[in-house]
Structure 1
């Protein structure tokens, strides 16, 4: 699942305190964004991906048209997960581009395999603090988690992005714990599956940690 390419490597202050890099940047269309992907020079692609991430976030937070923000939230639906991955999946884990990729990847993975993600989330239910931060309706099903990840993405463009990163991290922590518990239950009956699921849980935990670091970096102004 594409989300696992992203797995590696809190105070809600307003993003208004961050210096604005551009004066109301022109919002790119998904067709224009797609042209950033597939570039030949990795350094140029990386730099373009970073500039794009900052422009999208700044533009989304100053954009009055809800349809534009809706298109930003639906980038994966419009471009496809592979194109979005080409844009941002190889960005540093603790970076704006890398953190945005993790939000989209979590959203896409939840939408594609909602039953499994809901089962893992319920299995990680004992992670009370993380569960509360994530904000899912209890008990969550596939549709509730899809709405949750959509709300988190919306928050990245319409509210406080560091809070969005923390909510996504909390969600990932709960699911990771659930995957670990499912893996423990499978150790005797399906040991290979248990090992695979344990590795997924470890990668997802890494995703949570990277998002938490990105939230801190955004607040202190160090997130590239």
Structure 2
């Protein structure tokens, strides 16, 4: 299985902030190329085994800000490496900052998507702490474990949450916003699933 090319040093927070500023000013094609390059470099640094990043890369959004990562990766296709990174960093931020709400949606949806619940691997109590721990573990899997497994766990989690949203959404127009959010959750899941398939095929970039 192919992996991104190795880089000799980590991408520092200042690097990402500078690159995000350049991305915001560039042409769409240049922004997309930069998204792929930064995502590949980041994953390469985390997986090369010579410089264990610990929590540093998992907590990257805390360091540089989610807006910086959004400038770099949000516009990338959801089944690309930068698109997958963006989805998982967004998931971690969401689980950390809105843990009670995410836990409520997850607990509601898990009986409706039992296979996905098993794949997601949230502890049985599925309280906010367990939800946040899962998000850290999934994101850490990009750098320390099987990347396709991490992507599939993220996809499964989004599917469970989407099922919970649909179940809890009120009937009629009052529930339209929640149904739209559920659709976005499912779209994230689909993108992460395709990204996992591409990683196994050696074509993810």
TM-score of the superposition, structure 1-length normalised? Answer: 0.85
Indicate the residue corresponding to 2:146 in structure 1: 160
Cα offsets for 1:92-133 (capped at 9, x unmatched): 111000001101011111111111110000000211100000
Contact 1:180 1:198 in 2 (8 A): yes
Aligned to 2:137: 151
Give the alignment of 1:138-217 within 5 angstroms.
138-183=124-169, 186-187=170-171, 191-192=173-174, 194-217=175-198
For structure 2, the 5+ residue unaligned runs are none
**What is the match of residue 85 of structure 1?**
70
Q: Specify the alignment match of 1:113 in structure 2.
A: 98
| C-alpha displacement of 1:63 | 3.6
Q: Is the 8 A contact 2:119 2:156 kept in 1?
A: yes
Secondary structure, aligned partner of 1:91: coil
Distance (whole Å) between structure 2 residues aligned to residue 19 and residue 171 of structure 1:
25
CA shift, 1:19, in A, is 4.6
51, 56, 59: which is aligned to 2:42?
Answer: 56
| Alpha-carbon distance in 1 for matches of 2:50, 2:131 | 27
Contact 1:63-1:69 within 8 A present in 2 as well: no
> In the alignment, is residue 222 of structure 1 matched against residue 203 of structure 2?
yes
TM-score by length of structure 2 reads 0.93
Deviations 1:126-163 (Å, cap 9, x if unpaired)?
Answer: 11100000000012011100000000000001111111
Q: Is the 8 A contact 1:152 1:167 kept in 2?
A: yes
Instruction: Give the 3 Å change call, closer, same or farther, for CA 69–87 of structure 1 in structure 2.
Output: farther
Aligned length: 201
Check whether the contact 1:179–1:201 (CA below 8 A) recurs between aligned residues: yes
- CA 1:20–1:178 in 2, change beyond 3 Å: closer, same or farther? closer
User: Which 4+ residue blocks in structure 1 deviate beyond 3 angstroms?
Assistant: 63-66
Q: Distance in 2 between matches of 1:155 and 1:59?
A: 13
Aligned position for 1:34: 17
Following superposition, the deviation at residue 71 of structure 1 comes to: 1.4
How do residues 94-105 of structure 1 correspond to structure 2 at under 5 angstroms? 94-105=79-90
**RMSD, aligned α-carbons:** 1.4
Structure ranking higher on relative contact order (CA contacts 8 Å, 6+ apart) = 1
How far the C-alpha of 1:43 sits from its partner, in A, is 2.1
